[in-house]
Amino acid sequence: MAAVTLYPLRFRPLYKQYLWGGRRFETHLGRKLPPDGPFAESWEVADHGQDQSIVEAGPLAGTTLHELVARFGHHLLGRHHPQPRFPLLLKYLDANQPLSVQVHPDDALARRMGLDDPGKTEAWCVLHAEPGSLIWAGFREPIDPERLRRAVAEGKLEACLHRFSPAPGQCVFLPAGTVHALGQGLLVAEIQQTSDNTFRLYDWNRVGPDGRPRPLHVEEAIQAINYDQGPVQPAAPRPGEATHIERLVRCDKFVLDRLRLATPQMAGGDGRCHILTVIQGAIHVEGDPEQAPLRLGSTVLLPAALSPVQLEPLGDETAVLLDACLP
């Protein structure tokens, strides 16, 4: 087999149709969707069991992300090799209805529970917010497990939660153990650990497609909650390593930056892989075999082995990207 040199990788979106989804991937991101059903999530970069991102173009077209990890481990992941699978998952969420009030375990609890996935720390970046949209994140005031269990039983959980009206551009950091819910009317980009461990506390008294209430996981959630976590506010951006970079989140699971490109800039080339997704405008990515603009809602993965890659904004509009990588 001829040797293949890694290059900027685009993947086919992997759509999830849940009852709370809508059509904003079409109306706001300009995609063509099948005519039937709501579309809740678009997994852009994913290596999670049977849910696999598949390379769209170039010599590696048709290859899954898991196959890339196995075949190109160090060249793909750099200093973070080895990994059993790609450790980050990037997705878009379209909340046409509110998501359940939920919490994710941390790595230690996931191991103690014998779960297949690790914990799940995540962050949202808001792309669109309808008037009156809400995010619930953290508790309004201190609470203990017994009070929480009673509030759930009495249908009073929402009153215990901190909430705010988000604005486009805001970032919300949700460490594992944080109770949260995404409200209706929101389109967000999410970076997270590669995990699907979710414990529902409350689902707004609705029923699933089968006409029955979706299952709750109250006792598991009560174990997973960080009771020291108070109200969660949008993250305050901090200066990054260059004038066009803002640091949104840095934690032990990932780093999330926002890039504002009015002129060509370089990305990657630091021994780490980078996930770039466009949240405004369009760019040309040096070395991209598709040779087509990377537009709003589109994503590219820069393998760690690449030299710095030039990102060129297109048109008169400043291009805005999210850049996610491992710490």
- Please check whether residue 6 lies inside any domain of the structure: no
pLDDT tens-digit readout, 175-208:
999 999 999 999 999 999 999 999 999 999 998 8
Spatial neighbors of 251 by CB under 8 A, at least 6 apart, are: 121, 173, 175, 327
The two three-digit tokens of residue 134, written as one number: 């809400």
- Please check whether residue 5 lies inside any domain of the structure: no
Structural domain that includes position 279: 238-325
3 pLDDT above the threshold of 90: no
Q: Would you state the pLDDT for residue 191?
A: 98
Both 107 and 73 in one domain: the answer is yes
Both 257 and 310 in one domain: the answer is yes
Both 206 and 276 in one domain: the answer is no
Both 307 and 161 in one domain: the answer is no
Q: Would you state the pLDDT for residue 25?
A: 98
Segment 139-158 shows an average pLDDT of 96
- Please check whether residue 80 lies inside any domain of the structure: yes
Q: CATH no. for residue 290?
A: 2.60.120.10
Both 190 and 245 in one domain: the answer is no
pLDDT tens-digit readout, 277-298:
999 999 999 999 998 999 999 9
Nearest to 121 by CA among 190, 51, 50, 216: 190
The two three-digit tokens of residue 192, written as one number: 């997270």
Both 220 and 242 in one domain: the answer is no
Both 146 and 277 in one domain: the answer is no
2 pLDDT above the threshold of 60: no
Nearest to 237 by CA among 169, 299, 320, 191: 169
Domain total of the chain: 2
> What average pLDDT does the chain have?
97
Segment 227-243 shows an average pLDDT of 95
pLDDT tens-digit readout, 29-47:
999 999 988 999 999 999 9
Sign of CA dihedral 214, 105, 177, 164: negative
pLDDT tens-digit readout, 53-96:
999 999 999 999 999 999 999 999 999 999 999 999 999 999 99
3-state secondary structure 223-274: HHCCCCCCCCCCCCCEECCCCCEEEEEECCCCEEEEEEECCCEEECCCCCCE
Both 48 and 152 in one domain: the answer is yes
CA angle 274–188–79, rounded 5-degree value: 15
Both 169 and 306 in one domain: the answer is no
State how far the Cα of 12 lies from the Cα of 44, in Å rounded to an integer: 7
- Please check whether residue 289 lies inside any domain of the structure: yes
- DSSP H helices, the chain, are 24-27, 65-77, 107-112, 145-153, 218-224
Both 71 and 171 in one domain: the answer is yes
- Helix (H/G/I), strand (E/B), else coil: 16: strand
